[in-house]
């Protein structure tokens, strides 16, 4: 007899109290759906919709996107795949989007934190996603040319107006988080973090201490650690798992506020990534991975 975790393996990761509903601690990122350089339409929009729906079937209820992915492409695909109508548009799913990076071409990203721009992009995301309120709205980057308090204040105003529920930050240090928290409640932080890149360890500790969700982007990188004889490869063999599953399982063990958002355009990889939630690493394996980088 199948258990709920067999059918919806994302539930094995446990819950994190994000917003009113909370979320399972393994999510899905949509950055890989647009064309090369995260620019232009998806090369396989039908496949992208199928992957998004499969992730939801597996119990993923946190989907991360941004207005700049495409731009607009990833948000449009999310709506096509998961939107269920005005009454209950995403049926218990939390949609997290971001604004604050302008695009001028493939691989080109330019911070823009002007309050009027952030408000404009919020309104456009509301329209594209088909919602009256965005579950989690994240400042994609702090614009160094605009006073930070003005950017945080714009998010606070949008929240006060009911256009967004929760506020998040991306690629920030502890000082920036603390400054933002004097202006608006911060629910999540999204920094690059994985087995190889742990420069945000201090930020992760801060988030853990303060109950702030930490969404690591590029979460499954393991590089030479996954090569034959490497610690990831050895542990993957030990548990009959893949290197990606080991990397994600390590993240989930790293902190109770960790919310990995691996993305893929492959149905098989989507299920593989979500089933990492079921992988229970033993203490010896965790210690080996902790010491690997």
Q: Could you give the CA distance from residue 221 to residue 248 in angstroms, rounded to a whole number?
A: 9
62 contacts 27 by C-beta, under 8 angstroms: yes
**117 assigned to active site:** no
- Residue 257 · residue 212 · CB < 8 Å: yes
Query: How far, in Å, CA of 207 to CA of 46, rounded?
Result: 37
Specify which residues 28 forms β-bridges with.
Answer: 63
Helices (H), the chain: 4-7, 45-57, 73-82, 115-129, 148-160, 174-181, 201-210, 231-238, 243-254, 267-274, 283-290
Bridge-based pairing of strands 108-111 and 101-105 is antiparallel
Q: Catalytic residue positions?
A: 69
């Amino acid at each position: 007899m199948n258990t709920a975790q067999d059918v919806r393996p994302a539930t094995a990761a446990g819950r994190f109290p994000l917003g009113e509903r909370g979320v399972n601690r393994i999510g899905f990122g949509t950055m890989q759906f647009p064309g090369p350089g995260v620019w232009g339409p998806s090369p396989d929009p039908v496949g992208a919709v199928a992957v998004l729906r499969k992730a939801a079937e597996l119990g993923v209820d946190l989907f991360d996107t941004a207005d700049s992915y495409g731009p607009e492409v990833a948000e449009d695909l999310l709506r096509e795949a998961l939107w269920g109508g005005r009454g209950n548009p995403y049926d218990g799913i939390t949609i997290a989007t971001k604004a604050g990076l302008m695009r001028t071409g493939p691989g080109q990203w330019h911070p823009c934190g002007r309050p009027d721009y952030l408000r404009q992009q919020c309104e456009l995301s509301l329209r594209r996603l088909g919602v009256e309120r965005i579950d989690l709205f994240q400042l994609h980057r702090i614009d160094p040319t605009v006073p930070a308090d003005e950017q945080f204040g714009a998010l606070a105003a949008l929240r006060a107006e009911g256009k967004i529920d929760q506020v998040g930050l991306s690629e920030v240090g502890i000082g920036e988080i603390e400054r933002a928290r004097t202006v608006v409640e911060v629910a999540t932080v999204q920094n690059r973090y994985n087995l190889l890149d742990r420069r945000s360890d201090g930020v992760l500790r801060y988030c853990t201490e303060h109950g702030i969700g930490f969404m690591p982007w590029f979460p499954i990188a393991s590089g030479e650690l996954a090569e034959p004889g490497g610690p990831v490869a050895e542990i993957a063999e030990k548990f009959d798992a893949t290197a990606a599953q080991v990397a994600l399982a390590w993240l989930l063990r790293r902190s109770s506020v960790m919310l990995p958002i691996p993305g893929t355009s492959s149905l098989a990889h989507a299920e593989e990534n979500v089933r990492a939630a079921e992988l229970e690493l033993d203490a010896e394996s965790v210690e080996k991975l902790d010491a690997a980088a």
